[in-house]
Every structure is written in C-alpha cells, then in structure tokens.
Amino acid sequence: MDITVLYGTESGNSELIAQDLNDKLAEEGHTSEVFDLQDFEPSSFTGDRFYIVVCSTHGEGELPNTAQPFYEKFAEFDADLSDVRYAMFGLGDTFYEETYSQGSEIIDRRLAELGATRVGEYGRHDASSWDLPSDVALEWLPGVIEAAQ
C-alpha cells in the first residue's frame, strides 16, 4: 500500500511519531513518505494513496504552528475528496478537557466535509499519561493498516 504520513507539530512530537510510523511502515513493506503539513498542498490529496495524519494541539485547542499554513489553504480548498481515505492520530492533554486533541479534530472535520473517509480507530495520545507518544501510535498502527486494506 502507498502511504503518506502527514504531521503538524509545535514542539516536534508529531514529527517524531510520523518518522517512527514511517519507519514501521517501511519495515512492513509499504511504500511511504512523510511530509510536514506546511509543505503539503491540499490539491496533492489523491485516491491512490492512504494518508495518516498526526497532529498535536496548541494553545486553547488550536492547530500547531506547522499545520496553520496548510489549514489556511485547506479551509478555502473546494474539491471532492470522496476517493481519499485517511487515519487520524491526535495529540493533546486531558488536563485541558475542553480542548483535548482539538488540533487533529479541526483537520479531521475538514477532511470529512470534503468527503474523505476516516478509516480505523481515531488514535490519540494523552500527554497526562505515562505512555510514550510513539509507543501509543505504533500500537495503534496495525489496526489502521488492517482496516485500510
């Protein structure tokens, strides 16, 4: 399966997770690539790839710094993405109950509005837990890949 891993980050955690997911995908024989959301154009979404989006939350439920330029374009983007399938992994802190994992949910909602289909369980990492973010993402990945095939 051809996979694109996209990440939006403020402190670098999402980038590390995206790289770890990409490494695991390569080990399993998938063709994958990683892009920072700020370097990805909404018009680049195609139905012949599967997308994994890893996005943190910043401030009061906002997008992280590197996802903002992408989302400014994505909010204006008007295309039918009904042939696009993706999985979402959000980062946040349940201490901030009302805004937990909202960065990823902003992107998830827009993908759904444009007709894209989320596949598998919505992955999340809670910064209030003792779990390492990449460990949680790597445990989540097999279920997503199985659902996508």
Query: What is the tally of structural domains in the chain?
Result: 1
CATH number, residue 120? 3.40.50.360
What is the reported pLDDT for 58? 85
Cβ within 8 Å of residue 95, ≥6 positions away: 127, 128
**Which has the closest alpha carbon to 82: 116, 112, 52?**
116
Q: Please give the angle made by the CA atoms of 83, 89 and 7, to the nearest 5 degrees.
A: 80
What is this structure's pTM? 0.95
Residue 142 lies in domain:
2-148
Residues with pLDDT less than 70, the chain: none
Cα separation of 93 and 103, whole Å?
11
Mind listing the pLDDT tens digit for each residue in 68-81? 999 999 999 999 99
Q: Looking at residue 99, what is its pLDDT?
A: 75
- In this prediction, residue 131 carries a pLDDT of 92
